Amino acid sequence: MKLITHAAWGARYGKGPTNITPSGGVAVHYVGVGRLATIPHSKCAARVRSIESQHVGGNGWAAIAYNFLVCHHGYVFEGRGLGHRSAAQGTNSGNQYWYAVCALVGDGDTIIPPALLAAVRDAIDYMRARGAGRGIKGHRDFHSTSCPGGPLYVWVRKGAPRPSKQEDDMPFTEAQLRKIVREEAEKVMTADAVPAPGSNPADGFDPDGNPGFDPAKNPTWGRDSVRKQTIQGLIVVDKKVDQLAADVRAELAEVKALLAAKED
Ligand SMILES: [Zn+2]
Ligand SMILES: [Zn+2]
C-alpha cells in the first residue's frame, strides 16, 4: 500500500477521539463535487488539506472525518487513521462501529481508474488486518445520500473486488471509450464555453446578418454551436456559388444570342 501519513500530507489538526470499536467494517465514501480525475498527483495533498479545513474549520469537527482517503493515482492518505472514531457515516452507530475511507472522486468523474479501486481495497485490507470487521458498505447504506456515487456503490455492492490485471490492461470496450470521450469533450466544451463570434454586433463578424449568428439563439461557442454555425456558413456559401453559376449561365446565353444575331 502506498501510504502517505497524516504528517506527510501536512495535516494541520489532530486525529480525533480514539473510542472506536470497528466491528462492522469499512464504509466507502466519495468527495461528491467536481471532477478530480484530471488533477495531477502533486495537487492531491492540497485537496486532502482542503477537506480537512472544511471538516475542522467549517464543520467544527475534531479532525478530518475519514480514517483514510484514496486518490486516482493509487495513494492512500492517512486521515484519522487506525483506532480513531470516524465522523463520516452520519449516524452515531455508523461512526462507532465502522471505519470510513473516502475516494477522491467527484460527481463529475465518469472514469474510476483501477488504480483507485485497488488503493481503496488496499486500505480496506489494511484496516481488516488491524481489527476492522468484514463488512463493506457505502455511505448511503447508513442514511439517505448519493455518496459514494453510482459507479463506486456498484463496486462496493460486489464486495469491492480488487481489479484484475487484465482489467488494468483493457478496462473499457471501444464503444465505452467512445462514449466516455464524447461525454468528457462535452463537459470541457461546456466548461470552456465563450461567447460565439457574432454575439457582439460591433465585431463585424457577420455583416450579412446570417441566421446562424443570432446571439439569443446561439450564445456560446460549444461543440454543437460550432457545428451548426459551420453548416449554416456552408449553406450561405453554397447559395452564393449557385447564384454565381446561374449568372454566368445567363451571361453565356446572352453572348450566344448576340453571336447568333451577328451571323444572321
Ligand atoms: Zn460519504
Ligand atoms: Zn494522487
pLDDT digits (tens, 9 = 90+) for 189-210: 666 655 555 545 554 455 555 5
Does the pLDDT of residue 218 top 80, yes or no? no
Q: Are 102 and 8 contained in the same domain? A: yes
Asked, for residue 177, whether it belongs to a domain, the answer is no
Note the ligand closest to the C-alpha atom of 119: 2
**Overall number of domains in the chain:** 2
Nearest to 70 by CA among 21, 143, 119, 121: 119
User: Rounded mean pLDDT of 131-156?
Assistant: 95
Q: How far is the CA of 227 from the centre of ligand 2 (A)?
A: 37
Asked, for residue 103, whether it belongs to a domain, the answer is yes
Asked, for residue 150, whether it belongs to a domain, the answer is yes
Q: Are 237 and 125 contained in the same domain? A: no
Note the ligand closest to the C-alpha atom of 38: 2
Asked, for residue 147, whether it belongs to a domain, the answer is yes
Q: Are 33 and 82 contained in the same domain? A: yes
Q: How far is the CA of 260 from the centre of ligand 2 (A)?
A: 84
CATH number of residue 25's parent domain: 3.40.80.10
Asked, for residue 189, whether it belongs to a domain, the answer is no
Distance CA 21, CA 244 (A): 85
The domain containing residue 240 runs over which residues? 201-263
Does the pLDDT of residue 89 top 90, yes or no? yes
Q: How far is the CA of 70 from the centre of ligand 2 (A)?
A: 8
Q: How far is the CA of 147 from the centre of ligand 1 (A)?
A: 5
State the pLDDT at residue 90. Answer: 94
Distance CA 74, CA 115 (A): 5
State the pLDDT at residue 209. Answer: 55
Q: Are 106 and 29 contained in the same domain? A: yes
Q: Are 18 and 75 contained in the same domain? A: yes
pTM (whole model) above 0.75: no
* End-to-end CA gap in the chain: 100
